[in-house]
Chains A and B, each alone.
Chain A
């Protein structure tokens, strides 16, 4: 045991207290650096393996049958974009308008209920959302489809969008609202012309974070948009997506598929992290953003 030298005469008990102090405080620092180091190890290992596997063909070619070397995931990149765009088109407007209701039209019971339901929906495991989308879209249409995947992801996006819209609208100063209302503007004009523009940075940040989150989701797509080795010709066809491709390629026993999985992992992670960093830069003040 080493007593801290700064304090001269220490009784045995105090020496022990200071030793405990030093040991425990060092341990907390170790915890912090272990957890952060995990992130760097993950990034480094993924960049190393993904970088080795990534090539131009990855972005332009279709996947090949197992055993053949080469090919790419062009269809999965386009498919992912399609599904995410669909989810955004459905999810963002619903979430945004619900968020406006939560923030701007008071009352007690209904907003509380909606807010609580949003949090509940946000906590539903993504695989359960997948089952839900399967029961309402895939089963009636008797076909796995990009549409079902888009709907599944939009159900995950709605509560995130609603809660972040609400949160940033609430931060708009009261004086701005009162100023507009005092000038004779109606309530919805105040919302449309004053409050929402004042909160636009925050809302945009929330939306980007939400879309980035659903972009990496795999479980809701497994039995909605499923997978496809070829180009899908429409929204009602099974459609390949990057996350599902990573899953199927990683668990398959073929060496070359693993290479493709690493490349796809790198592309997906780069997109998701870029969106996250961009979103935080838009909201320049403070590095910490509450997650939806």
Chain B
């Protein structure tokens, strides 16, 4: 390394071999190597997905993304039902988890005493550590019967005139998958939003209160707009997680590769179809189509993740109160 730290006088005329004996160059090279391994793995990942998806790319081209056909027997494959299912379940999840999560984050950062806030946050972060297959297990045996017997008939009775809430209720389907995804995205939305809210300077709140605003007005009109980008970041982070989530969704989505307007209908997501069909995919085109779906999922999630990180970086750079 050329630049010595300022505290040390530059050693007089150390030759390259002398520095090598000191070990710094070796340590630098070793750690650099392992850092590059990360780059290599990622590059290889993209390359392998591309290569193994080639047979499907050649056969279907961009039509793959817009075709509704999924027929392994006749080797006709289209991604649309899976893209639809993935996006729909994630949107349902955000519909539920954004109001609840942001509300909880406001409570934890603005109202709760620090001790309560910290212990509740700790519990919420433990919720993030629960493996997704366990959410799936619970969903199969509790959420599915609950949705089938109470929630879905209830929604149908109230809003049955809207196509979204019509049709037979199976218990498995888009809505149930969306609900379990909502529970799984809470922790991300709550803990990242809370950090963003906590980083709003105290003076902002005090100024609003001094002007006669109520606590809620100060929170809603001053604090939340100030932390807006960070909250958006947390939502994108939750969205990225929901889009890529596999196990819990696979267990309750219903495995039907077609498009339905009703939220009660069984559907399919990209991750779920890969999980269910990959081991039994035979021939040349079938596995390629599944890898191609994986590539589509990969691209969607990196775009969403990139946006999330950008938003979080922008806000955490702006905040001053962050410890």
Interface residues of A (CB under 8 A from B): 17-18, 20-21, 24-25, 27-32, 34-36, 38-39, 42, 45-46, 49, 93-94, 97-98, 100-102, 104-105, 110-111, 113-114, 117-121, 123-132, 134-136, 155, 158-159, 162, 177-178, 181-182, 186-189, 191, 209, 212-213, 215-219, 222-223, 226, 243, 246-247, 250-251, 258, 261-262, 265, 268-269, 272-273, 276-277, 280, 286-289, 291
Residue in A135, A178, A246, A261 whose CB lies within 8 Å of B5: A178
Docked complex Cα distance between A6 and B176 (Å): 45
Chain A nearest CB, measured from B11 CB (Å):
10
Residues of B206-236 whose CB lies within 8 A of A: 214-217, 220
Do residues A38 and B35 form an inter-chain contact, with CB atoms below 8 A?
A: no
Given known contacts A105-B32, A216-B132, A189 and B23 CB-to-CB distance under 8 angstroms: yes
B interface, by DSSP: helix, strand, loop or mixed? helix
A126 — which chain B residues lie within 8 A by C-beta? 244, 246
Do residues B101 and A35 form an inter-chain contact, with CB atoms below 8 A?
A: yes
Do residues A273 and B129 form an inter-chain contact, with CB atoms below 8 A?
A: yes
- Some 5 contacts from A to B, beta carbons below 8 A apart, are A94-B37, A111-B35, A127-B244, A226-B279, A269-B131
Residue in A24, A102, A186, A269 whose CB lies within 8 Å of B24: A186
Docked complex Cα distance between A27 and B107 (Å): 9
Do residues B294 and A131 form an inter-chain contact, with CB atoms below 8 A?
A: yes
B128 — which chain A residues lie within 8 A by C-beta? 291
Residue in B134, B140, B220 whose CB lies within 8 Å of A24: B220
Do residues A39 and B38 form an inter-chain contact, with CB atoms below 8 A?
A: no
Do residues A127 and B271 form an inter-chain contact, with CB atoms below 8 A?
A: yes
Question: Is B125's CB within 8 Å of the partner chain A?
Answer: yes
Docked complex Cα distance between A290 and B51 (Å): 36
Docked complex Cα distance between A39 and B104 (Å): 14
Residue of B nearest to A100 (CB): B31
Chain A nearest CB, measured from B106 CB (Å):
5
Do residues B129 and A162 form an inter-chain contact, with CB atoms below 8 A?
A: no
A interface, by DSSP: helix, strand, loop or mixed? helix
Bitwise interface map of B from 261 to 275 toward A, beta carbon under 8 Å scored 1, else 0: 000000000010011
Bitwise interface map of B from 22 to 43 toward A, beta carbon under 8 Å scored 1, else 0: 1110111011111111110110
Question: Is B240's CB within 8 Å of the partner chain A?
Answer: yes
B123 — which chain A residues lie within 8 A by C-beta? 36, 39
Chain B nearest CB, measured from A279 CB (Å):
10
Do residues A222 and B220 form an inter-chain contact, with CB atoms below 8 A?
A: no
Chain B nearest CB, measured from A139 CB (Å):
8
- Starting from the known contacts A218-B131, A222-B275, 14 additional A-B residue pairs (CB-CB under 8 Å) come to A28-B106, A49-B141, A113-B39, A120-B306, A127-B246, A128-B45, A131-B290, A134-B278, A212-B129, A258-B141, A269-B130, A276-B129, A287-B118, A291-B191
Docked complex Cα distance between A250 and B134 (Å): 10
Chain A nearest CB, measured from B286 CB (Å):
13
Question: Is B282's CB within 8 Å of the partner chain A?
Answer: no
Chain A nearest CB, measured from B89 CB (Å):
14
Do residues B49 and A178 form an inter-chain contact, with CB atoms below 8 A?
A: no
Question: Is B17's CB within 8 Å of the partner chain A?
Answer: no
Residue of A nearest to B142 (CB): A45
Residue of A nearest to B280 (CB): A223
B122 — which chain A residues lie within 8 A by C-beta? 280, 287-288
Residue in A101, A272, A288 whose CB lies within 8 Å of B31: A101
Do residues B125 and A288 form an inter-chain contact, with CB atoms below 8 A?
A: yes
Do residues A20 and B35 form an inter-chain contact, with CB atoms below 8 A?
A: no
Do residues B103 and A32 form an inter-chain contact, with CB atoms below 8 A?
A: yes
Question: Is B90's CB within 8 Å of the partner chain A?
Answer: no
Residue in A28, A93, A117, A136 whose CB lies within 8 Å of B38: A117
Do residues B23 and A186 form an inter-chain contact, with CB atoms below 8 A?
A: yes
Chain B nearest CB, measured from A165 CB (Å):
11
Residue of A nearest to B305 (CB): A123
B55-63, B67-75, B150-158, B296-304: which one contacts chain A?
A: B296-304
Residue of A nearest to B237 (CB): A123
Residue in A21, A119, A182, A262 whose CB lies within 8 Å of B8: A182
Residue of A nearest to B4 (CB): A181
Query: Max chain A CB contacts within 10 Å: which of B133, B141, B191?
Result: B133
Residue in A36, A102, A134, A182 whose CB lies within 8 Å of B7: A182
Query: Max chain B CB contacts within 10 Å: which of A17, A25, A177, A268?
Result: A25
Docked complex Cα distance between A21 and B106 (Å): 13
B23 — which chain A residues lie within 8 A by C-beta? 186, 188-189
Question: Is B320's CB within 8 Å of the partner chain A?
Answer: no
Chain A nearest CB, measured from B264 CB (Å):
20
A27 — which chain B residues lie within 8 A by C-beta? 103
Question: Is B113's CB within 8 Å of the partner chain A?
Answer: no
Chain B nearest CB, measured from A205 CB (Å):
13
Query: Max chain B CB contacts within 10 Å: which of A102, A187, A209, A246?
Result: A187
Residue in A29, A110, A125, A262 whose CB lies within 8 Å of B301: A125
Q: Which 10 A-B pairs have the closest CB atoms?
A: A216-B131, A125-B244, A31-B103, A188-B27, A101-B31, A123-B305, A97-B34, A28-B107, A21-B214, A219-B246
Docked complex Cα distance between A105 and B30 (Å): 12
Do residues B240 and A123 form an inter-chain contact, with CB atoms below 8 A?
A: yes
Given known contacts A31-B104, A105-B1, A119-B309, A272 and B129 CB-to-CB distance under 8 angstroms: yes
